[in-house]
Structure 1
Amino acid sequence: MQIELHGVTRRFRSRNVETTALNGLSLEIPSGQLTTVIGPSGCGKTTMLAIMGLLEAPDEGEVRFDGAPVSRLGRRRRLVLRRERVSFVFQSLNLIEEISVLENVALPARYMSLPARECRARAEQALEEMGLGFRAQHFPFQLSGGQRQRVAIARALAMRSDLILADEPTGNLDRDSSAGVLEALLACRARGTTVVLVTHDPDIAELGDFVVEMQGGHVVNGRAGELSERRPAPSGRWVEAIAT
């Protein structure tokens, strides 16, 4: 899935204060690639992910999926589109501790009204791909931090979404666990899934096909990362920053 943001502005208002999280941001995320996003805290990275994933609508501007405008769709249509095409991997994970790893991975697919047998088969396959098949009947509290993150990625895989949005998935992990999570996201990319990874770690950021730098609600730089340098980049424009 190709994602385009055109002139996106998002403001948050309290009683006496208005904060601009995104200010006329324009960005194109190429289909089937790993794009990493880096920038200081408060620069708008998480807000941008929320808008990409249709969790929020921009105050100004437009979001497009594969060229089709989606940000102004009705609430129900955005919900259906998000459920069918987008998966999230957050630092908080949102795993349910009282049910098994397998049940956690299968749960979102059940909301798509898929047969229980297919939900289970998808979950089992996703866990095997993440190297966690042997943990299927364990509970999340029995796993390491890196394993829990891979369960969250397996949950996204089981949904077979076109887009995975990952917000600081390695933020609380050691180097070895972080490497396992990155390997899992690269496996998603190898299947043709578009992956957007937000990070504070410049070493991790450089591992993408493309690196987007943000500051003050803008894209200030976009460049090829290490993965892109190992092979030809896809044709066409991939990032456009508008400075205001």
Structure 2
Amino acid sequence: MTDYSKYEINNTDPHDKKRYVRSMFDSIVPTYDVLNRVLSLGIDRTWRSSLVAMAGSISGRRVLDICCGTGDLTKELAAAGADVHSLDFSFEMLKKGTAKGWLTGKNISADAGMLPFNDNSFYMLTIAFGIRNIPDVDVFLAEALRVLEPGGTLYILELTRPENAFVRFFYNLYLTKILPFVGGTLSGKRQAYRYLAGSISTFLDRATLVERIKEAGFAQISFKSKTLGTATIYLCSK
């Protein structure tokens, strides 16, 4: 099987990975939204809607959408009445989200490992398909805990490797062959989609991520598996 663990960057150097991730996401902005729909068969929308539904009543609540991309989740949070702030490392993603009208205007380009907000600033944090791109997950979790209000919740939506062996076989086939080929062909950015495939296949498994969240100091953690275990929503309460 193809080794996607190196992504053609120095994966042991957080600063190198940060530079690569920012440049890579800036480069795929023109086709990002279309390819998200195509490569997920539209299921990514259902997962985001599930996250918002799990959050319950958030009308008037201050929410930070981290790694917001072009604003898919921000849009749904705002539609639920939340006072949404949106943060992404890629300025080009924010520009496109603003042009689409999906970002609320409270947008900032910043590092998820150095959140530019005071302690206890938000009722809720969300991060969809972004945590695997953060070089130091522990630093991010510490920052998330810091800016959450007491009793607040961090929701993490991330792609995961299915535990069922039969499902995992076809998932790995899709991940290592189909996703890089289709994404790379349609976007013209083959290296970017090789990275994306690798970032999924080598990210922390569910049990390890839950343990890291506990070690960060979150009081309560639960999760819900989606679509045969190909995605997971984690609920992490301060």
Give TM class, smaller chain: under 0.3
- Greater helix share, 1 or 2? 2
Q: TM-score, normalised by structure 2?
A: 0.28
Bigger CA radius of gyration:
1
